[in-house]
Chain A
Amino acid sequence: MAEAQRRREGEEWEEQGGAEETEAPKEEAPKEAPKEAPKEAPKEELKEAQKEAQKEAQKEAPKEEAQKEAPKEELKEAPKEELKEAPKEEAQKEAQKEAQKEAPKEELKEELKEAPKEELKEAPKEELKEAQTEAPQTPTRPLLATRSTSSADPDDDSPNMIVYRKIEDIVTRIQDETEGVPIRTVKSFMTKIPSVVTGEECEGTDIVQWLMKNLSMDDPAEAMHIGSLIAAQGYFFPISDHVLCLKDDGTFYRFQAPYFWPSNCWEPENTDYAIYLCKRTMQNKTRLELADYEAENLARLQRAFARKWEFIYMQAEAQVKIDRKKDKTERKILDSQERAFWDVHRPVPGCVNTTEMDIRKCRRMKNPHRVKKSVYGLAEEGTQSHSPVHTPSHHSRKGTREDVEKEILFLNTQLDRHCMKMSKVAESLISYTEQYMEYDPFMTSPEPSNPWTSDDPTFWDLEASKEPSQQRVKKWAFSLEEALKDPAGHELFLKFLESEFSSENLRFWLAVQDLKRVPQQEVAQRAQDIWAEFLAEGAPSSINLDSHSYERASHNLKDPGRYCYEDAQDHIYKLMKSDSYTRFLRSNVYQDLLMARKKPETEQGRRTSLEKFTRSVGKSLTGKRLTGLMQSS
């Protein structure tokens, strides 16, 4: 398992295409693509690099699965100068964009299938995206615009953004100097907990009180709930706990820097996380000691990025250097905010990861240009850049003349289609729901009881027994469809018809239904059998078909498929509906069965007949009574 894990993460790292590849397969770059112009990463070079990476990977990976671990892109050595925390130069981003465009697609498609291997309990999100990065269609990778460092775009009305805007409004108000909570610098046990411009903090109770007052809540539990939800998104956090929730006590909370707000669409990679954990181990501070789960994560990442660990280490060192330059108090605050950021994106085991996305949607992100890539300004873009855009390729199916003509045909059919009036539609829906009210356990309590409510499976036992309940028998009168749907129903119907020596229609209908379900290899034979039994000259159970259906059937029989008797079946169905079905409902066999349960449960029988009566007279009576029933259940 660990092996597979490591392999997969190794793959993933490969796919991200390690940027500052000091051990880059330089020898595989025969065509000297100038380093300053990484835009023109030649295809051959990429392919070579991939082959090399593949070889390397295969050395590690045991045979089991044939893996094509070609990294998606291989970037040239980016200049190694200062790594800023803030996003890097445009040029590099451009370069990556271009480089990715060249990446060969076929291999990616293969990878897609291979990539998602066994599952890990804590699969970080990008692994999911790894598994589903490429659009199989011809992608023109759209340009990635600049990242925005500001918060929610007021025009963005995706659900998440709407919520972020609301939260940010609240959070800004909480921190307001006049209207907000009191912010302080608190002398704690060993050190002063600073609260300067970048980091304001207050006690949990203060936040709860503020929420109650300003958001008109009476119940502190409600305020804590909302506060916890806001904290879970990462907008404020307890300064000495990884678990993001709001408590109504003296716990100290600090507010998150707008830079780290979720509305910036952060999608930090595992490399960033690795750098973060690594740098924390470098700084000899108790407050920066790793928690158990973090130590485990670090160990796991070390195994995954074994070959690139030197690079990560260097990055971490660089970060530490930068951090050291900052003011001490500022540093404390920034550290805590950074930690809170990671608490959101790599939550403590047991906490909900609020950044999780449905893997089906990962591929297509609404605002790809706004997705933040690396927290630590790493040059490599990883999967972000070539993943997520809503590939317009789907839409850009060339509108050929044929397509338009097809569309015209479709539209004409649509226009010609008889449209039912809305009022009629409403009427039919209303009457349907009313008719079936008593068959809806949510509306009417089933008799003797709902098994889940009473823990008594008697209802199911009764249903399974030979005798259908009166309620069930009643349903057969609703429509031919209902009678046929219930095996007991069509059995009785068949019995009735046999007594009249007119069962061939129903038997034909049932046979054709059966034809649709048999294994493919039996279809031809079955179709022939049906013909012989029901349709041929002098057939034993000859049915009465109109000439059109007869011709269609006989024509279809030349190449018999499951649906060769569709027309015939439709015709027979209509016949039954207008003729034998109505007779069946009036028949003794049916009426007897309908009244059969009347004897032991006369009360119910009476009620049922009464219901039938009221239904045909007025709907409102039924409604009132049923509402009463519901309230009591």
Chain B
Amino acid sequence: MAAEKAEMDKLKKECDALRTQIEAARKAVNDGSMSASAGGVAGLGRIQLKLRKNLKGHLAKIYAMHWSADSRQMVSASQDGKLLIWDTFTGNKLVAVPLKSAWVMSVAFAPSGNLVASGGLDNICTVYNIKAASPKTLRELDAHTGYLSCCRFLSDTEILTASGDTTCCLWDLETGKQKTVFTNHIGDCMSLALSPDMNTFISGACDSLAKLWDLREGACKQTFSGHTSDINAIAFFQNGHAIITGSDDCSCKMYDLRSDQEVITYQDPSLNAGVTSVALSNSGRLIFAGYDDFNCHIWDSLKGEKIGVLSGHDNRVSCTGVPNDGMGVCTGSWDSFLKLWN
């Protein structure tokens, strides 16, 4: 017994030693802050965006939205028990999908545009075919033991989900079965994002960590710490080498995958509300972050400065998204409206 304990202690010491070494190694490469390096970059001044569309239709809090790959259609989910698919340009509602469970937390559009998925407190990710005459449930992916916080399609045949049961999961839509379960987080997974090359994905969780996973190996490759509270939102920087996180600790952070550490923190003493969602403009220069204070704030990703705000919602901004063509940004709110700005 004592021998076992001694061994465990030795192993734990080894862990600690490794951590210290890693810390030192990270410090060694930290030869200058991002914002300092960006000193030479031309400033953007104050960004003022105009409200272009106000989409009305939902009757209760909007919890999630996702752009279609065509940059024109968009799906939104509300706790009124409906998914609405919009033609954002005309403002028309194209399809309404009634949900079995109204407690929806996440929604996703397949790249093909044929399918949408949603899930929430029912722990199930339901996939719908929206090209049918009337929306048809294609699959009910039921294996998570916690709420479904986020889902993203890889294609019409595979989907990734993140859950409050601390795991992420890759499903095969043909069989409706789990293909890979990604376990490593020790807190509810709140959000996930696919890499541009679709070989890896990142997840943010309530354990305040962001993790990079390899889809092929099914393992966690890197972990990023620094936040002091739940990470609610996560996104890839377009180059695929950096990630942006948004947290309840009222800050956003950028981490670089190649330097394996935090690059810059986006925070402001006047901002005392948690971040609910993040999205980037196509060059990655602008970060749109939705907050609990009913606003969406705009950050200069390189300089770390707050350079704009989108005000207009009457309740917290719960979701933010920029379409593939980057023409604007959409914010969804608990006030039941979706707003488009550019």
Q: Do A and B interact?
A: yes
Residues of chain A at the chain B interface (Cβ within 8 Å): 109, 112-113, 116-119, 121, 123, 128, 131-132, 136, 159, 162-163, 352, 356, 358-361, 363-364, 394-395, 397, 399, 401, 404-405, 407-408, 410-412, 414-415, 417-430, 432-437, 439-443, 446, 450-453, 457, 459-460, 463, 481, 485, 516-521, 563, 566, 619-620, 623-624, 626-627, 630-631
**CB distance B41 to A430 under 8 Å?**
yes
Residues of B within 8 A of A (CB): 4, 7-8, 11-12, 14-15, 18-19, 21-22, 25-26, 29-34, 37-38, 40-42, 44-45, 47, 49-50, 52-53, 59-60, 71-72, 79-81, 89, 101-103, 105, 121-123, 145-147, 149, 154-157, 164-166, 172, 174-175, 186-188, 190, 196-198, 206-207, 216, 220, 222, 230, 237-239, 241-242, 248, 250, 256, 258-261, 263, 272-274, 276, 281-286, 292, 301-302, 314-315, 325-328, 334-335, 340, 342
- In the docked arrangement, what's the CA distance between A389 and B72, Å? 42
- Asked if B29 and A419 sit within 8 Å, CB to CB, the answer is yes
Distance to closest chain A CB from B37 (angstroms)? 3
- Decide yes or no: A422 and B34 within 8 Å by CB, A408-B14, A430-B41, A627-B44 being known contacts: yes
Residues of B within 8 A of A399 (CB): 8, 12
Q: Which residues of A contact B7 (CB under 8 A)?
A: 401
Q: Of A128, A430, A441, which one neighbours B37 at CB under 8 angstroms? A: A430
Interface centre among A404, A452, A457, A619 (most CB of B within 10 A): A452
| With A422-B29, A426-B37: A408-B283 Cβ-Cβ less than 8 Å | no
B327 engages A414 (CB within 8 Å): no
Please, which residues of chain A bring their CB within 8 A of the CB of B220? 410
C-alpha gap A452/B242 in the complex (Å) = 29
Contacts of B38 in A (CB 8 A): 426, 430
Complex: how many Å from CA A463 to CA B11? 58
Interface contact A136-B31, CB-CB below 8 Å = no
Question: 6 smallest A-B Cβ distances: which pairs?
Answer: A119-B102, A623-B42, A426-B37, A440-B283, A436-B283, A420-B258
Contacts of B122 in A (CB 8 A): 113, 116
Q: Which residues of B contact A624 (CB under 8 A)?
A: 42
Query: Is there an interface contact between B259 and A419, defined as CB atoms closer than 8 Å?
Result: yes
Q: Check B222–A627 contact: CB distance below 8 A.
A: no
- From B123, B302, B327, A433 is in contact (CB under 8 Å) with B302
CA distance A356 to B282 in the complex (A): 34
**Residue on A nearest B10 in the bound complex, by CB:** A404
State the Cβ distance, A322 to closest chain B Cβ, in Å. Answer: 37
**Taking A422-B34, A450-B342, A481-B197 as contacts, is the C-beta distance between A436 and B42 under 8 angstroms?**
no
Measured between beta carbons, the chain B residues less than 8 angstroms from A118 are 81, 102
Given A405-B11, A423-B37, A519–B327 Cβ distance below 8 Å? Answer: no
Contact of A452 among B40, B282, B327 (CB under 8 A): B327
A520 is contacted by which of B42, B174, B222 (Cβ under 8 Å)? B174
CA gap between A97 and B53 in the complex, in Å: 51
Contact A159 B284 (CB under 8 A): no
Contact status of A627 and B42, CB under 8 A, knowing A440-B281, A452-B327: yes
What chain A residues lie within 8 Å of B22 (beta carbons)? 411, 414-415
Query: Which residue of chain B has its CB nearest to the CB of A122?
Result: B60
6 chain-A/chain-B pairs, Cβ below 8 angstroms: A411-B22, A422-B32, A422-B33, A423-B37, A425-B259, A429-B301
* CB atoms of B239 and A428 under 8 A apart: yes
Does B33 contact A408, Cβ atoms closer than 8 Å?
Answer: no
A450 to B31, CA, bound (A): 40
CB–CB A119/B206 < 8 A: no
B29 — which chain A residues lie within 8 A by C-beta? 419-422
On whether the beta carbons of B272 and A430 are closer than 8 Å, the reply is no
Chain A proximity of B69: nearest CB distance (Å): 12
Q: Is the beta-carbon distance between B272 and A425 smaller than 8 angstroms?
A: no
- Whether A159 touches B273, Cβ cut-off 8 Å, given contacts A116-B121, A116-B122, A439-B283, is yes
